[in-house]
Amino acid sequence: MSAVADGRRMLRAGRLRSARAIKRAGPLALPLMLAALVAAGWAVDPVALAIVLALELALAGLGTAALLGAARPSIGYARYAILAVVAVSVTLAGRQLPAGIGPLAAPMAWAFLWWTLNTERKGATKPSGRLALDLFLVLTVFAAATGLAGLLPEELWLLELVLLGILTSVACLRAAEARGALGVPAVGHGALHLLVVLQVAAALFLLDLPQPVGPALIALTFHSWSGAADALESGTSDRAVVLEYGSLAAIGAIVALFLSRPGP
């Protein structure tokens, strides 16, 4: 019996040491491994790209769960999926870079992934953390829109819209949870946010805007709706919100109309 008890104690001690090692090395190692996959995804053919993206989703999902701990309804669930979405979006966007830029851009990809993970580990309750969260969500939407626009031909704009909706839905849900909405209300807020973004994206696809104007306007739409929701919930007057974020929407509409390509 004593030998069995000693074995169990040693097993528990080994698990604790492994967990501590993951906690110490994980915040640097996980973004590094994801950055290596991202850089590989920039140079492979579409079939291999699908394999790389699947590996990114698995690694980011498991790694985030190990580093952030068990999911809790009080802090939301989208934070466990956002790192995977960031990795996929950066991979798709990086394929639009000129040849030879990959080795220089890979450290930037690692920094972006580390920044995302570090923000989620520390939490976005403080103003600085919330600003970082808002910024990397906007950049993620821009990267996803840019990457999908370069990956798919114009004739497949409906498929592009569907894939953009899948990636952006996580960012919309994360933005809703950051505002304090949880559970079903968070899903409702995120769905409404996503619907607005996809409506604008569909209109921009039909206008056939040059790169990267279309993705930039999609990211601006994401930011404007999220900012307006934040302002209204913080008690800002309706008139101030309409003036501030309505002006952003007007600027985006003017840019889209002036840069739209005339049809044949």
The pLDDT profile of the chain, 264 residues, written as one tens digit per residue, is: 455 555 555 556 555 555 555 566 678 889 999 999 999 999 899 899 999 999 999 999 999 988 887 777 777 888 899 999 999 999 999 998 887 777 788 899 999 999 999 888 887 666 677 888 889 999 999 999 999 998 888 888 899 999 999 999 999 999 998 888 888 888 898 998 999 899 889 888 888 777 788 899 899 889 888 877 777 676 666 666 666 666 766 776 676 666 665 554
All residues at 6 or more sequence positions from 213 whose CB lies less than 8 Å from its CB, including other chains: 255, 256, 259
Tell me what pLDDT residue 197 has: 92
Containing 119, the helix (H) or strand (E) segment is helix 102-122
Tell me what pLDDT residue 194 has: 92
DSSP letters of 213-252? HHHHHHHHHHHHHHHHHHHHHTT--HHHHHHHHHHHHHHH
Tell me what pLDDT residue 102 has: 73
The answer to whether 177 touches 79, Cβ cutoff 8 Å, is yes
The answer to whether 32 touches 110, Cβ cutoff 8 Å, is yes
Tell me what pLDDT residue 209 has: 78
Q: How do the domains of the chain map onto residue ranges? A: 9-106, 124-264
Residue 227, number of CB atoms within 10 A of its CB: 17
Tell me what pLDDT residue 168 has: 95
133, amino acid identity: L
Q: Say which residue the tokens 């999911």 belong to.
A: 71
